[in-house]
């Protein structure tokens, strides 16, 4: 397996995954979406809520606030040896906001105060509820480590997909320029002896094969590389894009090792 990073920022990445088949590529995609554990608010104790929202609505909104997560410092709640929650699998957060009598005040995710300074809202400007003058919201939230396959609030990868790397072959071109004009993404250009792929544009190919359809002499072919894939992913902020990729690969490695041990005992 080989990974070639094309673009990398704190919350998004684009890379080429090579020397694997479609099954492994899809396994990596699913791991980033569902198998990398994150922290999310799972229980909310509301002590005072005079806002326009019901308690359940407030709890739902808080549960969907991404929390910065340390993969190595917490254990998924279902895998922890405790029964009711402990510092190894849960974190307590509090929120206490009151609007002045003569003005409105919006409660944001950044108003959550965590007992663990390393755990905080990935974005501090997510609105939770707008309070009218004199209204108050006081609560305690319990965040637990969980998996995306149990609930979307624990899903670290919010957008993750891939496509096969395109392979374009041109042979016997008569310079008619029809394929160049047909390409919707300007991937092809006319060279001195034949049409050719423009440098650095191959990965933009959508595999629509319009160039193949207009070529009357079958000089061009477009196919998928069965062992090379272009990945695009976005993180919700609980992990950086780089951490999400690494944690997903490690998760697959751990599952494979566990399966190997089980098969070895048969």
CA distance 97 to 207: 53
CB distance 241 to 233 below 8 Å:
yes
Residues ≥6 apart with Cβ < 8 Å to 184? 206, 208, 210
| Residue 208, annotated as binding a ligand | yes
Is 131:106 a contact under the CB 8 Å cutoff?
yes
Torsions phi, psi for 29 (to 5 deg): -60, -45
What span, in angstroms and rounded, lies between the C-alpha atoms of 157 and 146? 14
Give the C-alpha separation, 99 to 104, whole Å.
6
| Joined tokens for residue 60 | 């739902």
Query: Annotated binding residue at 80?
Result: no
- Ramachandran region, residue 240 (left: φ > 0; alpha: ψ -120 to 50; beta: rest): beta
Residue 183 known to bind ligand: no
Tokens of 106: 């919006």
Neighbours of 135 (CB within 10 A): 20
Q: How far is CA 230 from CA 14, 161, 202, 224, 234, in A?
A: 7, 8, 11, 11, 14
CA 262 to chain centre: 31
- Residues of each annotated binding site: 205, 208, 211
Q: Which residues are known binding-site members for [3Fe-4S] cluster?
A: 205, 208, 211
């Amino acid at each position: 397996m080989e990974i070639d990073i094309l673009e990398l920022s704190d919350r998004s990445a684009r890379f080429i995954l090579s020397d694997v088949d479609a099954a492994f590529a899809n396994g990596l995609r699913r791991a980033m979406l569902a198998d990398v554990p994150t922290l999310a608010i799972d229980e909310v104790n509301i002590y005072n809520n005079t806002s326009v929202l019901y308690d359940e609505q407030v709890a739902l909104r808080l549960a969907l606030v991404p929390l910065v997560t340390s993969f190595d410092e917490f254990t998924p709640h279902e895998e922890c040896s405790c029964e009711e929650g402990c510092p190894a699998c849960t974190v307590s957060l509090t929120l206490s906001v009151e609007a002045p009598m003569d003005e409105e005040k919006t409660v944001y995710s950044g108003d959550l105060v965590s007992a663990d300074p390393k755990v905080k809202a990935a974005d501090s400007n997510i609105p939770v509820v707008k309070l009218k003058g004199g209204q108050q919201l006081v609560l305690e939230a319990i965040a637990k480590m969980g998996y995306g396959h149990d609930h979307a609030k624990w899903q670290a990868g919010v957008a993750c997909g891939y496509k096969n790397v395109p392979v374009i072959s041109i042979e016997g071109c008569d310079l008619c320029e029809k394929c160049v004009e047909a390409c919707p993404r300007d991937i092809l250009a006319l060279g001195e002896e034949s049409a050719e792929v423009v440098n650095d544009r191959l990965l933009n190919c959508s595999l629509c094969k319009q160039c193949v359809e207009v070529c009357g002499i079958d000089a061009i072919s477009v196919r998928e590389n069965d062992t090379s894939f272009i990945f695009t992913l976005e993180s919700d902020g609980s992990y950086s894009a780089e951490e999400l990729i690494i944690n997903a690969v490690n998760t697959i490695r751990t599952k494979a090792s566990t399966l190997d041990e089980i098969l070895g005992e048969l």
